Structure 1
Amino acid sequence: MGIKSFMGRRAEPVKPAEAPMLVRDYMSSNLVTFTENEHILDVMDKLIRHNISGGCVINDQNELIGIISEGDCMKQVSDSRYYNMPMEDLTVGKRMNCRVETIDGNMNVLDAAKKFIEMKFRRFPIVENGKLIGQISQRDVMRAALTLKAHNWQY
């Protein structure tokens, strides 16, 4: 006679909660940055060489003080041509945008997507304890969305 065993009904396995997709997990941290005393022509050269559309302006303590973009550079090129102004004394500090919107590295990346849409920005710096630690772009958010699609989205 064999041994009989009875196991009661098993509970459904607990599905682990999905870990939030945080901005800090998708941000770029190896940034091309600029200083306010940098010449605008050097900025244009860096933007082209690194195939980027803009970047953060920082001080000596790695604190975010502004943003400079292709658009800021194009405005300078246009103004110089239109007003026949020389470009030799033009610095980032004269063209950068000092009113910078940042986002929290602990924000869910999908919430960041909504902020991109609402504010129509191409990038957001991430500052922690007063220091620039990274930047997230629209492309980074799309990369996160593709990761999410691989796990959750249906075709």
Structure 2
Amino acid sequence: MRIGNVYRPDVFGCWVDERLPDVARRMAEKDVGALAVLDGNEVVGVITERDLVRALAESPDVYSARVSEFATTDVETADVEDDSREVAERMLEAGFRHMPVTQNGEMVGMVSMRDLLALETWSG
């Protein structure tokens, strides 16, 4: 199945220079485990719940810490035309639980391992 049939089409993101409390609040409001980190129109990272936990453990002042200090910047993306099994394999190999989804080079949403697990469970 194509990722275009699985991903969450809402583009939830944050700016690279935002403060962590604002990002955590947005994640809670949107009920998501990760946000794309944007620098202009470019996806430069992903900030996840795990990154926020690491920030709490490591930052002397988490309230003024910026996304750029804790976001994962080794980012891969999936295209809406990519096969969902191939994307799941890439995510497992890289250790990612969330991956931005693009179409024609523009971010259009996010896919999570939970989305892919649900697909596998319900389609089988």
TM-score, with normalisation over the residues of structure 2? 0.84
- Structure 2 CA distance for aligned equivalents of residues 116 and 65 of structure 1: 17
Does residue 1:136 correspond to 2:111, yes or no? yes
- Structure 2 CA distance for aligned equivalents of residues 120 and 86 of structure 1: 28
CA contact (8 A) 1:23 1:109 kept: yes
CA contact (8 A) 1:64 1:127 kept: no
Q: Which residue of 1 aligns with 2:44?
A: 65
SS at match of 2:54: helix
SS at match of 1:56: strand
Where relative contact order (Cα < 8 A, 6+ residues apart) is larger, the structure is: 2
- Structure 2 CA distance for aligned equivalents of residues 111 and 97 of structure 1: 21
| CA displacement, residues 12-69 of structure 1 (integer Å, 9 cap, x when unaligned) | xxxxxxxxx10111111113211112110111222223332211112333x2111111
Q: Where do residues 70-89 of structure 1 align in structure 2 (5 Å cutoff)?
A: 70-80=49-59, 85-89=60-64
Q: Where do residues 2-151 of structure 1 align in structure 2 (5 Å cutoff)?
A: 21-61=1-41, 63-80=42-59, 85-149=60-124
CA contact (8 A) 1:37 1:92 kept: yes
Runs of 4+ in 1 over 3 A off after TM superposition: none
Distance 1:142 1:88, change over 3 A: closer
CA contact (8 A) 1:123 1:137 kept: yes
- Structure 2 CA distance for aligned equivalents of residues 111 and 146 of structure 1: 16
- Structure 2 CA distance for aligned equivalents of residues 103 and 50 of structure 1: 22
Higher helix share: 2
SS at match of 1:141: helix
> Which is greater in Rg?
1
Q: Return 5+ residue gaps in structure 2 as ranges.
A: none
